[in-house]
Amino acid sequence: MMTQAFENRLFLTLNGDRISLKNVSPSMTLLQYLQQSRRTGTKEGCGDGDCGACTVAIVGRDPAGNPTYQAVNSCLIPLGAIAGREIVTVEGIANGKLHPVQAAMVETGGSQCGYCTPGFIMSLFADYYTGNVDDYSVEGNLCRCTGYIPIRRAAQLVTNAQPSDQFSEQLKQANLVLNSVTYRNDEQQFYRPTQLSEALELLQQHPDATLVAGATDLGLEMSHYRQTFPILISIEGVTELQHIEQTIDLVTIGAAVPLHTIESNLHGVFPNLDEMLHWFAARQVRNRATIGGNIGTASPIGDLPPVLLSLDAELTIANLTGTRTIPLIDFFKGYRQTDLKLGEIIVSVTISKSISENAVQRLAQSYKIGKRGTDDISIVAAAFVIDLDSDNNIIHARLGYGGVAATPVRAIAVENTLIGQPWTMATIQQVKPLLREAFTPLTDLRGSADYRKLLVANLFEKFFVEMEGES
């Protein structure tokens, strides 16, 4: 049984200073704390994770497990989640003279009104220490007045650096272990267990507790709606949830593995997963967001479920008495409703690497249609997998969709119709009317029901055309 000797302080390192926070709300965001403590260099734009004005750098793990600075949106991180961490804000980087990324922005004229600038600076700062600064470094930062060309030039000026300064030294000495946290203020409790058994015990003791992983969904409740959570259990320190394991046939991804690690460490294994991750949010969000959180939130417009459905992914779910495995398709029960029972945690996602027996070729791709390229919510997301035999006939078909129903879904009737058919434009034209009527999507401010129905069918045709173009 986990003992509950509560601390009433949270400790963190901010710009090199160790800070002790007493009696703060663990669901106050880091940005709110920075503003309240008069560290106003970090700006609030949207409060939603969309603009990057609030970007700070935290010391975390790169995909290889080594210490690195990661750009994150401080508007989404609850204070509980940064306990024991090192944070660098824009106030902490100049050190008597401009930091090289600041100097580059001055040189190229990368700032006009300056409101977005601290966020851009911190995104550039984080990647400066990887030696790889490019457009993607600032994909999660918006600027309304300077225009992006001077900012891109600044990025080009500081790429390929091999810094040797106090910050690179700090990385060498960084402690990456997330210690256990058991914190309470007057009204709220925050736990960060380090073992799965502890997390499950806590869930049993506190059935009403809210699990939090990267907080890129829940952080919106805290930031935008100022919601407090009586009991939060963070799973980002749980070691069993942190690994990606590969065998010849299978890939198992721990539920708390952040998306930036998946996109890097599994690159090339599942092409339609690669493609979707490319369009998933932006750097700051992918540094924190987890695969388990994307499934656990059960959003009908979550982008990974359509891909994982197309790959017949399975979930391993644990409670105190053991684990069970279910196909992902059985997990989503209704709008934001899942098969998770009280006291259960998603532990991992398993995907087979094998293609169907008798198949000579697998075709796979995914598509995300939003109002803008990066950092936007899907209107419709689609992911397809087709296995072909040596006669070019379809012997396995998976068509996963998001944004067209109350849950992520597969077009199962159409999949069945495709089996045995030749992989030709005639077959595609034959199933397109079926696809248009496969779902009854809603009309909302992002797109009409009719538009979504057209996308369901037309994206499959696009898939065919693209695959034929490649063969």
Ligand X SMILES: Cc1cc2nc3c(=O)[nH]c(=O)nc-3n(C[C@H](O)[C@H](O)[C@H](O)COP(=O)(O)OP(=O)(O)OC[C@H]3O[C@@H](n4cnc5c(N)ncnc54)[C@H](O)[C@@H]3O)c2cc1C
User: Residues interacting with ligand FES, by CB under 6 A?
Assistant: 44-54, 73, 75, 111-117, 143-146
Using rule CB under 6 A, residue 217 touches ligand X: yes
- Return the one option of ligand X, ligand FES, none that residue 255 interacts with (CB less than 5 to 8 A, by type): ligand X
φ and ψ at residue 439, rounded to 5 degrees: -130, 165
User: Which residues, 6+ apart, have CB-to-CB distance to 182 below 8 Å?
Assistant: 4, 5, 6, 7, 189, 190, 191, 192
* CA-to-CA separations, 101 to 36, 105, 164, 166, in angstroms, rounded: 27, 6, 14, 15
* CA-to-CA separations, 242 to 4, 257, 325, in angstroms, rounded: 24, 5, 18
Using rule CB under 6 A, residue 204 touches ligand X: no
Supply the minimum distance, in Å, between the C-beta of residue 367 and ligand X: 13
User: Which residues, 6+ apart, have CB-to-CB distance to 175 below 8 Å?
Assistant: none
- Return the one option of ligand X, ligand FES, none that residue 56 interacts with (CB less than 5 to 8 A, by type): none
Report the C-alpha gap between 394 and 424 in whole angstroms: 10
Strands 250-254 and 345-352: antiparallel
> Site for ligand X (CB under 6 A): how many residues?
33
Residues 25-64, mask of contacts with ligand X (x by CB under 6 A): -----------------------xxx--------------
Report the C-alpha gap between 278 and 257 in whole angstroms: 16
Which of residues 15 and 112 has its CB atom nearest to ligand FES in the complex? 112
The size of the chain, in residues, is 471
Of 304, 293, 341, residue with least CA distance to 321: 341
Which of residues 138 and 174 has its CB atom nearest to ligand FES in the complex? 138
Which three-class secondary structure state does DSSP give residue 70? Answer: strand
Residues 431-470, mask of contacts with ligand X (x by CB under 6 A): ----------------------------------------
Using rule CB under 6 A, residue 346 touches ligand X: yes
Which of residues 231 and 282 has its CB atom nearest to ligand FES in the complex? 282
- Return the one option of ligand FES, ligand X, none that residue 112 interacts with (CB less than 5 to 8 A, by type): ligand FES
Among the residue ranges 100-108, 147-155, 182-190, 215-223, the one whose residues contact ligand X (CB under 6 A): 215-223
φ and ψ at residue 262, rounded to 5 degrees: -65, -45
Supply the minimum distance, in Å, between the C-beta of residue 78 and ligand FES: 13
Supply the minimum distance, in Å, between the C-beta of residue 190 and ligand FES: 21
Among 150, 292, 403, 408, binds ligand X (CB under 6 A): 292
Supply the minimum distance, in Å, between the C-beta of residue 142 and ligand FES: 7
Report the C-alpha gap between 22 and 25 in whole angstroms: 9
- Return the one option of ligand X, ligand FES, none that residue 345 interacts with (CB less than 5 to 8 A, by type): ligand X
Which of residues 113 and 465 has its CB atom nearest to ligand FES in the complex? 113
- Return the one option of ligand FES, ligand X, none that residue 46 interacts with (CB less than 5 to 8 A, by type): ligand FES
End-to-end CA distance of the chain: 58
Which of residues 217 and 387 has its CB atom nearest to ligand X in the complex? 217
User: Which residues, 6+ apart, have CB-to-CB distance to 204 below 8 Å?
Assistant: 320, 343
Residue type, 102: Q
Instruction: With beta carbons less than 8 A apart as the criterion, state whether 124 and 154 touch.
Output: yes
Using rule CB under 6 A, residue 212 touches ligand X: yes
Report the C-alpha gap between 268 and 275 in whole angstroms: 10
Among 138, 232, 345, 414, binds ligand X (CB under 6 A): 345
Q: Beta-carbon neighbour count of residue 36 at 10 Å?
A: 11
Strands 181-184 and 189-192: antiparallel
Using rule CB under 6 A, residue 280 touches ligand X: yes
Which of residues 278 and 436 has its CB atom nearest to ligand X in the complex? 278
Among 293, 300, 408, 447, binds ligand X (CB under 6 A): 293
Which of residues 88 and 232 has its CB atom nearest to ligand X in the complex? 232
Q: Contacts with ligand X in 59-88 (CB under 6 A)?
A: 76
- Return the one option of ligand X, ligand FES, none that residue 289 interacts with (CB less than 5 to 8 A, by type): ligand X
Nearest residue by C-beta to ligand X? 293
- Return the one option of ligand X, ligand FES, none that residue 80 interacts with (CB less than 5 to 8 A, by type): none
Using rule CB under 6 A, residue 211 touches ligand X: yes
* CA-to-CA separations, 467 to 57, 98, 240, 366, 383, in angstroms, rounded: 40, 50, 38, 12, 13
